[in-house]
A = this chain, B = another copy of it.
């Protein structure tokens, strides 16, 4: 089986990144290994604290090693600080392992800005990509949607938005297995709004690309979408700048938390509501699992020459294991090669710039 052949996977783990590191990193690795027995792990961080934790998990006794370092990037460090002093940190060494081919992918729950800056510097961006973007899955009414950028680039020009669209499209095809993902560009739909110039320009480039028949992938550009189209699942890929993407993502996460809270309160509202809960519990357990944010943990820094996965800093071991799962999926599907190939097949950026001139 092909899956067996690809099973020799090594993941570099930033064991010191995140609020509850290294505990949840080690525990998460153990959970991930239950799902993917062929995976290898290298834990970067303080051996004296990692080693005793490793011993707690039976399935982490082989094909696992620790690369000791005392250096840690803290959550308050600026990207520039991390770039200057973070090379020898657990995060820096884990990224270096991917650069040197020691590991296939890196997973970190640490400082996002530092992870992005160091990954960009050490791994480099794919040719044709100006700036990497942060992409993640979100649950929708009819499955999952890929949204990017979630915070790497506060402002984006039209070319960047087009690049994000292409990367998001390949990501949806490889990681979600959608044959022809549809792409939507986030905009404001009220009639008074014309949207921003760069968004309308990106739309006209994407429209041109989706009409091209000679060579390249036929992009399925849906057009503009609005905030409510994200949870609605109107399209498979939502493209936006890092400011709006971050605001939308967190607004959605916050609203989910609000509802989870309110549902809990409703079931505690009265004696009869508690009785109702007993009957409805299996259905709500199912709902809770489906919407569990830990299921969607593991944002990908797209556009880099290697797979870099960012876990939520505050996640638990289950969430961290999901992020490891994303890394494994990317390796199993040869994501980086695939996206590289897709981008090479596309009209060159200079042609995109020409299309822009036409628009």
Q: Which residues does A use to contact B, with CB under 8 Å?
A: 75-79, 111-114, 116-117, 139-141, 151-152, 154-155, 186, 188-196, 226-232, 240, 242-244, 246-259, 261-263, 265-267, 269-270, 272-273, 275-284, 286-287, 290-291
Chain B residue numbers with a CB within 8 Å of A263 are 263, 287
Which residue of chain B lies nearest to A290 when distances are taken between CB atoms in the complex?
B262
- Additional pairs, 19, CB under 8 Å, beyond known A226-B250, A229-B254: A114-B191, A114-B192, A116-B192, A117-B192, A140-B258, A141-B258, A188-B243, A193-B246, A227-B253, A231-B257, A244-B247, A252-B252, A255-B255, A255-B256, A263-B287, A273-B279, A273-B283, A275-B279, A276-B277
State whether A254 touches B231 (Cβ < 8 A). yes
Chain B residue numbers with a CB within 8 Å of A113 are 190-193
State whether B247 touches A267 (Cβ < 8 A). no
Report which residue of A78, A231, A256 has the largest number of chain B beta carbons within 10 angstroms of its beta carbon.
Answer: A231
User: Does more than half of chain A's interface fall in helix, strand or loop, or is it mixed?
Assistant: helix
Chain B residue numbers with a CB within 8 Å of A242 are 188, 193
Chain B residue numbers with a CB within 8 Å of A75 are 191
In the bound complex, how far is the Cα of B269 from the Cα of A226, in angstroms?
Answer: 30
In the bound complex, how far is the Cα of B270 from the Cα of A348, in angstroms?
Answer: 54
State whether A228 touches B254 (Cβ < 8 A). yes
Measured between C-beta atoms, what is the minimum distance from A346 to chain B in Å? 27
In the bound complex, how far is the Cα of B247 from the Cα of A117, in angstroms?
Answer: 28
In the bound complex, how far is the Cα of B254 from the Cα of A243, in angstroms?
Answer: 19
In the bound complex, how far is the Cα of B241 from the Cα of A154, in angstroms?
Answer: 14
